[in-house]
Structure 1
Amino acid sequence: MKYLSWVKSNSEYGVPPAALTDAIAQSGAEQFASGKMLDAGGLSTLREGGAKVSLTGGKITDGPYSEAKELVGGYAIQNHASLDEAKAGAVWMLELHKQHWPEWEGEIEIRQMFGPEDF
């Protein structure tokens, strides 16, 4: 089963420490080689190169951008045998953050992905 997970921080912490990105890159290379990781990457903030388009009250708007309470900093699309396995991967990622960026606080949200074959 494919799962999408994304890392959300509680506030803007700036650029992650090199030790964290190095640890993630090393593990990511192993997961890509094994076929478990399908895609992964970091994401900009809305101010750094993103956009928000919404539909409210029948109107489509681009912006305005209010201060985000949660910022998505990265994502991964992975193959896992179960949701429990996906959660174990998220715990591992949070442990890396705890070890290499102790002041960081946030969460990882996990969602199972569905393709045309599932409908």
Structure 2
Amino acid sequence: MPRFMGFVRMEENLDTNPPQALFEAMDAYIGERAANGVFVDGGGLFGTEDAVNYVVRKGEVSRVDGPYAEAKEVVGGWSLLQYDTVEDAIADQKLFAELHAKHWPEITVISTLRQISEAPEEPTD
């Protein structure tokens, strides 16, 4: 069964919190998918003010702490999902995005779905 990682990206430091209607719609959406085995795990993320990044550049490792003035969008949430087919995953991701469009239309959200590689990629020569 193919597995996927879902991400929700949005502008950081929004002047508004998600509306209660979106929380309620998401609870129902996630509850249904958890009950049928599609939703494996997921959650929201705190802002980047407490984030820690390690940057590897030219063989050197350096630590960079938030906040990040240059960041325009951040990953605000994530999910681990599994579907019978790629087509099912894509269709369901659209429903997820539509929940945000309906319940929080004043913001821009990018809903991303990426399939998880189940085996190491073969090295290219």
Q: Answer yes or no: same fold by TM over 0.5.
A: yes
> 4+ residue runs of structure 1 moved beyond 4 angstroms?
none
Q: Which residue of 1 aligns with 2:48?
A: 46
Deviations 1:54-109 (A, max 9, x none): 11122212115343122111111111123222221221111111111111112112
Query: What are the within-5 Å matches in structure 2 for residues 40-79 of structure 1?
Result: 40-47=42-49, 49-63=50-64, 65-79=68-82
- Consecutive unaligned residues of structure 1, counting only runs of 5 or more, are none
Q: Give the residue type in structure 2 aligned to 1:57.
A: K
Equivalent residues in 2 for 1:1-119 (5 A)? 1-13=2-14, 14-47=16-49, 49-63=50-64, 65-115=68-118, 118-119=119-120
> Aligned letter for 1:50?
A
Which residue identity does 2:45 align to in structure 1? L
In the alignment of these two chains, the number of paired residues is: 116
Unaligned stretches of 5+ residues in structure 2 = 121-125
Q: In the alignment, is the contact (CA less than 8 A) between 2:100 and 2:109 conserved in 1?
A: no
CA drift at 1:10 = 4.0
Q: CA RMSD in A?
A: 1.7
Counterpart code for 1:17: P
